[in-house]
Structure 1
């Protein structure tokens, strides 16, 4: 796992990337709600892409909650596209569907 940047909890939680089956996956990107829309997430994601490329990866993938349209639009603006894959995960007894997005680095 690669931590790209970690700041004070009041600002940005973290962004990290993991290797999955020969390609790189953006695992988690958290930005404080009061900072959304200011470019912080994009800076973190761009740095994650730089780290992935430096490790020799040419594709990135990530999972986005099906009902999180804001996140879907964020990743689409960053060049990601849904590839049709979906998975269900159970969190605290609630089943949530995630959609896989991919992009060329």
Structure 2
């Protein structure tokens, strides 16, 4: 599937919120309480997302995957790491969702590669993310992409239920530097 990734605009907010809420309901069914998922609202999510998008101190970069027909098919958000250590050069993938009917088509890999590139461009040497421990599909996706669990665990509340999330990380490799001009051949010294 032909996909291109660009920064999200306000015109994308409704589609992104539908992808996020639909993604939660699909990915977390049987993990997050059904009552929590049922209470999620695309409209409320869109209101929050618009408010975040308008903030001049917005904490991350929102990216959308767009199909050949111009339809938004996925969303990711990346920025500086929000937790304590592992260091000032750490970035964080805050979210990555693909329309459930398009999972497995390569959109997620394209979004992830672009998010990693943006994080590296922002000066981050490592990208971290949190994933629900029971979300085996997402864990497999990130592990296949070279991420490893680093042993950190946090617990988040989903209504009356507390669920563990595992932190994953991956070093980011900056683009190779251009060779210096006029370099001395070490064999001539």
- The Cα offsets for residues 4-49 of structure 1, whole Å up to 9 and x where unpaired, read as 226556x22x200121252100000011111111110000000000
Larger-gyration structure (1/2): 2
Matches within 5 A, 1:77-92: 77-92=144-159
Deviation at 1:56, TM superposition (A): 1.1
Name structure 2 gaps, 5 residues minimum.
1-59, 173-189
**Corresponding residue for 1:18?**
79
What whole-Å deviation, never above 9, does each CA across 1:25-82 have from its counterpart, x for those lacking one? Answer: 0000011111111110000000000101111111000001000000000000111000
Q: Which SS does the other structure have where 2:105 is aligned?
A: coil
Normalised to the residue count of structure 2, the TM-score between the two structures is 0.52
Q: Structure 1: where are the runs of 5+ without partners?
A: none
Structure holding more strand per residue = 1
TM-score normalized by the length of structure 1: 0.91
Judging by fraction of residues, say which structure has more helix. Answer: 2
Residue aligning to 1:57: 124
Query: Corresponding residue for 2:18?
Result: none
For residues 26-105 of structure 1, the aligned pairs below 5 Å read: 26-105=93-172
